[in-house]
Chain A
């Protein structure tokens, strides 16, 4: 099956952004960083918009897209709704930051954005669970989408915190979050790899590269950032580069192994 790059980039880029907001929400609750949240939220907002635009490039008739609003049950509606709500929540959060609104309201909006973002990252994989594609029809697939988005998004937050020269304590927390993201990617990636057969078949090389880049690299870099906060900037760059490359590769693998029950007309999507 041909890789649908528009959809790969949509879920990888937007998922990275939505999970960067998880870093913001955790920090809003802990109150450690001072400068990162504004930048991280702005970047998350931009990534969500860019991801949304990437998804539209997949369509041959985007001019008819409003008809989606009349059909709330398919996965595309849910994805569009969640990414729209996420963008709205990020805009509200940035306005609250700019106006210096009370911490309680800010926390509530940040947590709401993060929850929407996490659900989006899961839902964007859940849409592909269909009986017609046995290799996709496993709950490990949406968890994989979530896991790799977590690794790339939290690695991005680590990088931004390092760029903003946050205190060591804040960098350590961001490092721990990145480790968690990496572990989520490794666990969910392995589950999908063995459930779908991607770990052993023709796509095995790309699959294992995705796991190494998208899971192991962020996890190791996050761990090192905890013990060496002074090196966090370099580690953040490597963690984010690995995370987003792995996230893209994981999604590409999904398309590579997405064989239908039958393809009688022989049409490549």
Chain B
């Protein structure tokens, strides 16, 4: 079973927001709403040894996705490629999936009154293209592919680094697939959240 996801190399990320903006343009995400949001973590530490780094956030494509477990109508589901998606036509707007998401990376579409989120640009990847955020990343910091396929872009990028340099958002049993690469040369990954 495929585990398609995004890998972000924070050693390369400049925090330029192009992923966030392109996502909005590609998926028609309204002002004030997000499927992909660039955050700034830090600054941490004490002067002069301080760390601050950009952190692009989006659906982490959890292996044990709690949003899918709690959805009462099957609106949150996994498609044939094991990607966590939302069927807007089935969403009743109960927001249980938003409560169950450990990262708060599900969006409430005020116009349709339904929950939405990153789709990994399935409409593009189905035609062999890359997700818009990956394609537009000016620093070449974003990768898309199947974690289980050693020849995929994500696997090949991850293979370049030690395990200690590969990170994920706080895992409370949901097992996020998205990985963040950050080496000690560029900063120190901060566990937990601010």
A and B: real partners?
yes
- Interchain pairs with CB closer than 8 A, number: 112
Interface centre among A71, A73, A74, A77 (most CB of B within 10 A): A74
Are B72 and A269 within 8 A (Cβ)? no
CA distance A215 to B103 in the complex (A): 35
Partner of A61, one of B66, B70, B93, B99: B93
Q: Given A60-B113, A131-B174, A265 and B66 touching (CB < 8 A)?
A: no
Q: Is A238 an interface residue (CB 8 A)?
A: no
Are B92 and A67 within 8 A (Cβ)? yes
Are B71 and A74 within 8 A (Cβ)? yes
Are A67 and B74 within 8 A (Cβ)? yes
Are A260 and B72 within 8 A (Cβ)? no
Q: Is A99 an interface residue (CB 8 A)?
A: no
Partner of B70, one of A67, A130, A258, A266: A130
Are A61 and B113 within 8 A (Cβ)? yes
Range for the number of chain A residues in contact with chain B: 20 to 34
Are A265 and B73 within 8 A (Cβ)? no
Q: Tell me the interface secondary structure of chain A in the complex.
A: loop
Shortest beta-carbon distance from B101 to chain A in Å: 6
Interface residues of B in 98-119 (CB under 8 A from A): 98-108, 113-114
Shortest beta-carbon distance from B42 to chain A in Å: 15
Are A261 and B170 within 8 A (Cβ)? yes
User: Using Cβ atoms and an 8 Å threshold, which residues of chain A touch B170?
Assistant: 261-262
Q: Count residues on chain B whose CB falls below 8 Å from chain A CBs.
A: 39
Shortest beta-carbon distance from B106 to chain A in Å: 8
Q: Given A132-B102, A260-B102, A68 and B72 touching (CB < 8 A)?
A: yes
Are B103 and A261 within 8 A (Cβ)? yes
Interface residues of A in 118-150 (CB under 8 A from B): 127-128, 130-134
User: Using Cβ atoms and an 8 Å threshold, which residues of chain A touch B37?
Assistant: 264-265
User: Using Cβ atoms and an 8 Å threshold, which residues of chain A touch B91?
Assistant: 61, 64
CA distance A262 to B101 in the complex (A): 9
CA distance A133 to B104 in the complex (A): 11
Are A131 and B172 within 8 A (Cβ)? yes
Are A264 and B113 within 8 A (Cβ)? no
Shortest beta-carbon distance from B95 to chain A in Å: 6
As a 0/1 sequence over residues 50 to 79 of chain B, the CB contacts with chain A under 8 angstroms (1 = contact) are 000000010000000010011111110000
Q: Given A61-B114, A130-B100, A131-B173, A70 and B69 touching (CB < 8 A)?
A: no
Q: Find the B residue at minimum CB distance from A77.
A: B72
Interface residues of A in 189-217 (CB under 8 A from B): none
Q: Is A104 an interface residue (CB 8 A)?
A: no
Q: Can you report 12 residue pairs joining A to B where beta carbons are below 8 Å apart?
A: A59-B93, A59-B94, A60-B92, A61-B114, A64-B73, A77-B72, A131-B172, A132-B101, A134-B172, A265-B107, A267-B107, A267-B108
What residues of chain A have their CB less than 8 Å away from a CB belonging to chain B? 58-62, 64-65, 67-68, 70-71, 73-77, 127-128, 130-134, 258, 260-267, 269
